[in-house]
Amino acid sequence: MNVTQALAARRSIRAFLSKPVEQEKLTAIFEAAARTPSWANTQPWESFVASGETLQRIKDGFRENYANGVAVVAETPRPIIADWSEASSRRRKQLHPGMERDCGEAAREFGKLNQTLFHAPAVIYICMDRKHSQWSLYDIGAYAQSLMLAAVEQGLGTMPAIQLTNFPALLHEELQIPESMQITIGIAVGYPDEEHGINLFRSERDSVEETVHFFG
């Protein structure tokens, strides 16, 4: 599989099988992603992987917090949707009609799957030292993409989602993440549940002609 094939094959998986992810596959993913470029070779990422009983406690904690109305306070600020450009707003509005078109009744489970961490058998939490500036989030994003492309090569699916970080206090405790580190994003990883209709959805992309401007 080459890079172009991996880019085409990668998709957001919103329902996973319960099958555990082999440790050797996770290790291979991190070894590949370590080659991600970063500003001045700072490599600001540090990952904490939740699986097994630890992840189950996190899932139980999330469910309890939702039931009790605990405030969602992710450590990476959420975007202010009202401030988005017209083009970005248009693309966002394509999601739910497209999901209903591709997934049918399964589209109604979108919110529930978000809250159950997509039934993933493992979640990667990428963190960075709070001393870093927000510029390092660019490096974190590049690292996240590297992880997801490497996962494709291993036959795994992924789902990057801010919802996975909704209750940081719980994550800091369960994963022993130092308070000096900011939880930037979570990536669910595992084997896709190909029988679940939600995984039929593929979001659309604007053409190169619409998004790239060549000069010279």
> pLDDT at position 82, please?
79
Whether 103 is in a domain gets the answer yes
Q: What global pTM score does this model have?
A: 0.93
- Contact call for residues 204 and 99 (beta carbons, < 8 A): no
The three-class DSSP label of residue 127 is: strand
Structural domain total, the chain? 1
Whether 207 is in a domain gets the answer no
Task: End-to-end CA distance of the chain: give it in Å, rounded.
Answer: 34
> pLDDT at position 184, please?
97
What range does the domain containing 56 cover? 3-200
> pLDDT at position 101, please?
86
Whether 214 is in a domain gets the answer no
Whether 41 is in a domain gets the answer yes
> pLDDT at position 156, please?
98
CATH classification of the domain holding 137: 3.40.109.10
Per-residue pLDDT of the chain (216 residues; tens, 9 = 90+): 899 999 999 999 999 999 999 999 999 999 999 999 999 999 999 999 999 999 999 999 999 999 999 999 999 988 788 788 888 888 888 877 887 888 888 878 888 888 999 999 999 999 999 999 989 999 999 999 999 999 999 999 999 999 999 999 999 999 999 999 999 999 999 999 999 999 988 888 999 999 999 999
Whether 37 is in a domain gets the answer yes
Whether 61 is in a domain gets the answer yes
Whether 43 is in a domain gets the answer yes
> pLDDT at position 213, please?
95
Instruction: Please identify which residue in the block is written with the tokens 């493992």.
Output: 122
> pLDDT at position 134, please?
86
> pLDDT at position 119, please?
96
Burial of 35 (0-12, 13-18, 19+ CB in 10 A): exposed
> pLDDT at position 93, please?
82
- Contact call for residues 150 and 9 (beta carbons, < 8 A): no
Whether 179 is in a domain gets the answer yes
User: What is the DSSP track for 41-86?
Assistant: G----EEEEEEHHHHHHHHHHHHHHHHTTPPP--SSPPP-GGGS-H
